[in-house]
Structure formats: structure tokens, C-alpha cells
Structure 1
Amino acid sequence: MVDAILLMAEYFADPPLWRQSSTRTGNADPQPLELSDRLRSDLRAWNDGLEAASATDAYGSTVVLSAETPGTTIDRWTANGAESLTVSRAGGRNGAAKAIVGWRQLTQRVGPPFGNAATRATGLRAAGALQRDLGATAQVTVFGGARGPGDY
């Protein structure tokens, strides 16, 4: 597989870039990429904005994707508590649902509850697909191997 550079929000990442190849998945070293100062600044501002939105709970709800939850079920947390519902009922499309199911199946094959770096990257892509569908109405979070924030 050819190296891919992915833009992903990550706490304290500078820049918020991930490298994925057949041998490695993880934070990308910005030096070999020869990013301009302006681009690094823009990427840092983008990532800082997402961190700030997360910290101030600017979203109406948080959607939790857990590796151990079956099928297309997700958990949505609001100020009123949590509810389990399907991806489609939450407003997600078929592509996001398939990505979530694929991530869960891969994690189970690799070794639950947490999988490995590749399953984490797959989970982040699945979360990204659902985030695109839900837009600013929810913040999508991935928990590999836990049913929710209280399980950590």
C-alpha cells in the first residue's frame, strides 16, 4: 500500500496528520512533508478549533462508537442522558453504517477489546464518515473496547 497522509483531529497534535502505509499507522512526522509555515499554522488552528468545540460542548450531542457494540447500534449522549439507536435513526447514511460494521468486525478478528493501530485508524475513518453525515449536530467519538466514557 502506498503511504497516505490523513487529516484527523487529534488532541495536542502539531500538525494533526496521520500516516498510513502497509507497515505503519500513526502520527505523521511533518518534517519530510516540507509543509509551509502558513499551512502548519492553518492546520494547528483547525485542530485547536475542534479541541475548543469539544471542550465547550458546542455540539448538541456526543455519539459514541464502541468496538464491542453489535451491528449498526451507536450510543448518543445528550444533556438528558444516553440512548442506543441505529446509525440510520441517528441520521447517518448507509456508507457510514457499513464502515462502522467493518471496523467492528476487524477489531473482533484482530483481538478485542482494543485491536491495534490499524483498527484504530479504521475506527477513526468510520467515525469521520458518520461525522460527515451528522455535521455539526453531534460530535462523534470512538471508544475501542469500551461501551462508553465511564468504562475507561
Structure 2
Amino acid sequence: MTNYTLEEKDSFTVLGFGTELKSDYTDYAGIMKEKSDFWTAAKQDGTLETLKAVATNDYIFVVNEAVNNKMMHYAGVMTEKSLPEATRMIQFPKGEYIIVKGEAETSEELSNMLTGIAFGQVLPEVKDVAYVGGPNASVEMGQRNGLVFGEMWIPVVRK
């Protein structure tokens, strides 16, 4: 069984700049390219710095959410503030979350690794809880020993 924990979290809000992922949900390579292009642009055009300026902590959120039957992908930060140019205030519910921890050489590798473990290994194996939709996030929490570390947060309900 893959290492994960279940943690109770209060509701929280992530302010996000996002993009609609146009690739079919089964087109892993297409989705990865769209996400990579989005993050490259967010770093180059100042979007990430704009978000960091209103953040309540140093965490960077990589959020995936289905909105109106569209696959949305966001760069976000935890905050109660809003920005007029932001795409969405993403509400995460109070409740239990599956938490998967990890570290990688880059932010992108961390997000991809945590998402793969959480959705490819943990969720298929857990028996007492289920993911029923809603936003989920890979959370970049910092750097140590030359690696980026963080967690995947997936809201779940008891079966």
C-alpha cells in the first residue's frame, strides 16, 4: 500500500489563475504539455509573482477542477484576497483529505509525481473513503536539500 495519510482540514480558499485543458482526459501527453506550457507562461508573464504577493503563506497550489464540464487547471495561492484579473476563487471543503507527500527536482516533476501516485495508486487502493469530485491540489511547500517538497490534497468522503 502506498504511503498516505487522512487528515481533517478546515475549508479554505485558493485564488487561482487558470486555463481550460482542451486535450481529451485520456490524452496524458497532451494534458502534460498543456499544463507545462501554462506554467511556463505563468512564470514568465508575472502571474505567479502577482499571486505570491497576496498569499497568506508560501505554498503554491497546482489545482485541478472540473467546472461546467470543463477540465480546469490553476496556479493558485491560499488567500482571502481577490484580484480583478484572477480566474476563480476556488473553495476547498471542510472535511477529510487524502494526503500524499513527496519531493522532486522541479515543481512540475513534484506535481506530476504526486498526482500519479494519488490517482494511480492510492485512490484505487483505499477502501473506506472515496473521491467524489471537487477541486484537488498538488501543494508546493518549499525546498530542502536541493529538492522541491510538497503534498497532494484530495478531498474524500467516507464510504
Q: Normalised by the shorter chain, which TM-score bucket?
A: under 0.3
Query: Which structure shows the bigger proportion of residues in strand conformation?
Result: 2
Bigger radius of gyration: 1
**Please, what TM-score do these two structures have when normalized by structure 1?**
0.28
